Structure 1
Amino acid sequence: MNRFGKTIRLASTAATLAVLGLVGASVAQAQEDGFQLPGDINFLGQADPNVRRATARVNGNIITGTDVDHRVALIAASNNMEIPAEEMSRLRLQVLRNLIDETLQVQEAASLDMEITAEEVDQAYTRFAVEQFNLSPEDMDAYLASIGSSARTVKRQIQGELAWDRLLRRNIAPFVNVSSEEVNEIVDRMNAARGQFEYRIGEIYMAATPATRDAVLSNANQIVAQLRQGGSFAAYARQFSQASTAVVGGDLGWIRIEQLQNPVLEAAARDLAPGQLAGPLEIPGGYSLLLLIDRRQIGMADPRDAVLSLKQISLDFPPGIPESEFQLRAEQFAAAVAEINGCGDADARAAAMGAEVIANDELAVRALPDALQPIMLELNVGEATPPFGDVQQGVRVLMLCGRDDPSQTSGPEFDELMNNLENDRINRRAQRYLRDLRRDAVIDYN
């Protein structure tokens, strides 16, 4: 158990097995678990793992190839990426699995008289279009068609999410209880660990055998390349990770480094700055990619929660300006900024040099780009950052006019801790619930 009272989520299924001493379990061990497996496997028919069937019938409900195509198009557009041909087969397989799960969830809700109506789905679709895209439902329909998807595939996903939420709220959540004593125990452990660092880490684990090692490594490197070009880590984790955290975008939550329980992963994570990626890292059973989402000290105020009062002084340049002239004017701008005597002098000095001033009195340090955060934390009131920018965007500085440091220590409150515990237990029961639905389903692949 970790200090939040949750079962520790290790970096992968293989890592879990390694910790328990079960990697490379013998046939005799498998037979003790109820399986009668021969030492040599002799298939009686063709078994080609590269052949994937794209459609299915789930308890009588059909999932078509078009359903898969539309969902793949939606994923590609939402992540603003072009899916390489070598990844498409795997993505389509994952999409089919997701569609099967959604179908099972909708069917289960209907069988228990909790059916989601078309009106509920339409209302949720309208909210989605307005809140996420600022589009009317009709314009949203047209947009989805333009990217090769459809309103039907989004509504199908919405129906599955609403059905599952209703099932959990009625069949699971009322039977999950967390006592005050459990939460107080967590608070005590947090106080004992005050000042120690904890990390919020994302993982993508890809299983490999000696026969598939090279192919998996190549695939992992392609994913890293896509991530470095701006791809969504959470999206790739949901699609490709084989760890249990795939369902939450690879997010391990807040953990201590040693909870990774693998020296390779621990060493890599310690060297990361927030936002940095590590991997592919070879570990028992496959490869892992790690993303350091954030880092904090337990029970201590985070300086990045300070709220700043800033003035941005920016100077734009006309299109087509020669590089030499840009450099000269940027140096003149930097020299002029250095002569500004605090924020009260900024507006007049900026006007004299033809620059623009924009003020913001409520900007948290953590809301700034990563490269600016450490610089802002070192500034005194009235000081400015070094100039930054380019010929297209212009040059600018940020001047610190005031800072309100966080007055309370960071860390979750009692109610938040209780909610975390409840949600964790609900999620674990939900996973078992979905596994039962899969086990009992009649699924025919076409």
Structure 2
Amino acid sequence: MMKLGSFRSAALLLVGSFAAVAVAQTGGVQSSTGLDLPSNPKFIGSGDPNVRTATAIVNGDVITRTDVDQRMALILLANRGANIPPEEMQRLRDQVLRNLVDETLQIQAAKAADIKIEPREIETFYNRYVQNLKQTPKEFEAYLRSVGSSPNSLKRQIHGEVAWSRLQSREIEPFVNVGEEEVRSVIERLKASKGTQEYRVSEIFLSATPETAAEVRANLMRIVQQLQQGGSFPAYARQFSEASTAAVGGDLGWVRAEQLPEPLAQAAQQLQVGQISEPIPVPGGFSLLAVQDTRQLLTADPRNAVLSLKQMSLSFPAGSKRAQIEPMIQKLSQTAQTMGGCGRAEEAAATIGAEVVSSDQVRVRDLPPVLQNALLGMSIGQATPPFGTVEEGIRVLVLCGRDDQDVSTEPNFQQVYAQLEEQRVNMRALRYLRDLRRDAVVDYR
């Protein structure tokens, strides 16, 4: 499900509102309002601003401008209000509309296959999501409406994802075959490749024809710019990617270079962890590739270690300047380095008004690369330099313990089988969606 990000206040730009202009006619009368209004005003342009007309009709199902507006608000929220230039908003709206068309086709296809998604199921997924955000449904609904969206927009997306997943389970997965000998052959190749590099990668794929290639590439470059400004790759993958991995934020899992198409393999080998490629031409369109992590196949990696940490953090009043709080930041750093380890963290934090949060199951691999490098070079009881922002708070991490994990075991038959099966399901799902688009009757308004 789409990750909506934190619940900080953000000024989100919403588009698609209607304008209605009254034209004065000859013979107008002076009303009690003091305005020179016509006796029978007629609206021009978009008409009544309270009436949301259809943007597209997909096999008879209507997608309104409200649907597009509210889904756009979810995208902006997912990216923490990323500053999208005004000239890009219409292109974003066009892509959101295409996504909603695909979503509608997926829901319709599931219904045609007698797959029923009960409202209570959608409610269960929705409520579970809200609980994970530590909100009540009422609080979350108010928040969504405050940023221009609604619970129905998110529930519609949940409906689409559940419907598409179940459709694949019925119409695609039963017809995908992976043989035991094939799996064993892959396992033998993995054993022979022990020590070679693996990549945890994510993708965004957009289909293109020779006629649309330039436009699609330009659209992907705009996505790259938004991602480089702090946008969420999984959120963009869910909204824009046409690959079936969109449902999991574009995640391809752990792969070796030779498992990827040649252009993607070259990009994965050249990118650093956290970097995003430019649009890469692949059969049928273009892909963006993001390298989330790397490791050596069947080899122990220090980043598999599980850490016990304490975080000490300072929060500041709104509007505080860095120069004003610099003495407090220095005091936090000094206190963390001299307090004598985790055992005195709470006591030391109280002297400077800091908050302490403990976590005993933190994988090094799950941390940002900068923190990974810092913590792997630390001894028990040491603290990182301060990091963070004035707005979000300044914090340090204190290393309380470290358990190294050995994952240099042989590949598991079921894991290899599942990966091969997933790859083939993804390819068939993409073809299935293309067939749905080809056969659809879509009337754009």
Asked whether the two chains share a fold, i.e. TM above 0.5, the reply is yes
Question: Are the equivalent residues in 1 in contact too, given 2:273–2:293 (CA < 8 A)?
Answer: yes
Question: Are the equivalent residues in 1 in contact too, given 2:78–2:232 (CA < 8 A)?
Answer: no
Distance 2:389 2:435 in 1: 59
Counterpart in 2 of 1:388? 386
Residue 365 of structure 1: how far off its partner (Å): 1.8
Distance 1:361 1:104 in 2: 45
Q: Is it true that 1:71 corresponds to 2:71 in the alignment?
A: yes
Distance 2:284 2:384 in 1: 47
Matched pairs, number: 386
Question: Are the equivalent residues in 2 in contact too, given 1:198–1:254 (CA < 8 A)?
Answer: yes
Check 1:350–1:183 CA distance in 2 against 1; reply closer, same or farther (3 A cut).
Answer: same
Helix, strand or coil at the partner of 1:71: helix
Check 1:342–1:236 CA distance in 2 against 1; reply closer, same or farther (3 A cut).
Answer: closer
Q: Is it true that 1:98 corresponds to 2:99 in the alignment?
A: yes
Distance 1:352 1:144 in 2: 36
Query: Which stretches in structure 2 are left out of the alignment for 5+ residues?
Result: 1-52
Counterpart in 2 of 1:427? 426
Counterpart in 2 of 1:437? 436
Deviation string, structure 1 residues 23-76 (Cα, Å, up to 9, x no partner): xxxxxxxxxxxxxxxxxxxxxxxxxxxxxx972222222222222222222222
Distance 2:362 2:255 in 1: 28
Q: Is it true that 1:300 corresponds to 2:299 in the alignment?
A: yes
Q: Is it true that 1:118 corresponds to 2:119 in the alignment?
A: yes
Distance 1:103 1:391 in 2: 41
Amino acid aligned to 1:231: G
Question: Are the equivalent residues in 1 in contact too, given 2:281–2:287 (CA < 8 A)?
Answer: yes
Identity in percent: 48
Question: Are the equivalent residues in 2 in contact too, given 1:200–1:295 (CA < 8 A)?
Answer: yes
Residue 196 of structure 1: how far off its partner (Å): 0.7
Residue 231 of structure 1: how far off its partner (Å): 0.6
Helix, strand or coil at the partner of 1:379: coil
Distance 1:321 1:93 in 2: 40
Deviation string, structure 1 residues 282-305 (Cα, Å, up to 9, x no partner): 999998754221111111122111
Residue 405 of structure 1: how far off its partner (Å): 1.0
Distance 2:429 2:286 in 1: 28
Deviation string, structure 1 residues 3-38 (Cα, Å, up to 9, x no partner): xxxxxxxxxxxxxxxxxxxxxxxxxxxxxxxxxxxx
Distance 1:284 1:253 in 2: 21
Taking only aligned residues, the RMSD between alpha carbons, in angstroms, comes to 4.4
Check 1:156–1:411 CA distance in 2 against 1; reply closer, same or farther (3 A cut).
Answer: farther
Distance 2:436 2:251 in 1: 25
Distance 1:126 1:325 in 2: 40
Matched ranges for 1:171-320 at <5 A: 171-204=171-204, 222-239=222-239, 249-257=249-257, 259=260, 261-262=262-263, 266=266, 269-279=268-278, 289-310=288-309
Helix, strand or coil at the partner of 1:74: helix
Deviation string, structure 1 residues 88-133 (Cα, Å, up to 9, x no partner): 2332222222222232233333333333333433444333433446
Distance 2:274 2:178 in 1: 34
Amino acid aligned to 2:146: S
Question: Are the equivalent residues in 2 in contact too, given 1:109–1:163 (CA < 8 A)?
Answer: yes
Question: Are the equivalent residues in 1 in contact too, given 2:313–2:394 (CA < 8 A)?
Answer: yes
Counterpart in 2 of 1:89? 90
Question: Are the equivalent residues in 2 in contact too, given 1:313–1:355 (CA < 8 A)?
Answer: no
Distance 1:298 1:278 in 2: 23
Deviation string, structure 1 residues 180-238 (Cα, Å, up to 9, x no partner): 3222222111111110112223345677989996x888766654443233211233345
Check 1:177–1:388 CA distance in 2 against 1; reply closer, same or farther (3 A cut).
Answer: same
Distance 2:158 2:117 in 1: 10
Question: Are the equivalent residues in 1 in contact too, given 2:190–2:411 (CA < 8 A)?
Answer: no
Residue 165 of structure 1: how far off its partner (Å): 2.8
Distance 1:262 1:287 in 2: 10
Matched ranges for 1:19-168 at <5 A: 55-81=55-81, 82-132=83-133, 134-136=135-137, 138-168=138-168
Counterpart in 1 of 2:403? 404
Distance 1:270 1:427 in 2: 23
Check 1:277–1:401 CA distance in 2 against 1; reply closer, same or farther (3 A cut).
Answer: same
Distance 1:422 1:322 in 2: 53
Deviation string, structure 1 residues 404-444 (Cα, Å, up to 9, x no partner): 21133267532222222233333333333333333332332
Query: Which stretches in structure 1 are left out of the alignment for 5+ residues?
Result: 1-52
Check 1:405–1:170 CA distance in 2 against 1; reply closer, same or farther (3 A cut).
Answer: same
Check 1:415–1:59 CA distance in 2 against 1; reply closer, same or farther (3 A cut).
Answer: same
418-427 or 53-62: bigger deviation: 53-62
Question: Are the equivalent residues in 2 in contact too, given 1:91–1:239 (CA < 8 A)?
Answer: no
Distance 1:441 1:273 in 2: 41
Distance 2:79 2:104 in 1: 24
Structure with more relative contact order (C-alpha pairs < 8 Å, separation 6 or more): 1
Check 1:177–1:347 CA distance in 2 against 1; reply closer, same or farther (3 A cut).
Answer: same
Question: Are the equivalent residues in 1 in contact too, given 2:309–2:359 (CA < 8 A)?
Answer: yes
Question: Are the equivalent residues in 2 in contact too, given 1:326–1:391 (CA < 8 A)?
Answer: no
Question: Are the equivalent residues in 1 in contact too, given 2:337–2:383 (CA < 8 A)?
Answer: no
Distance 2:422 2:254 in 1: 15
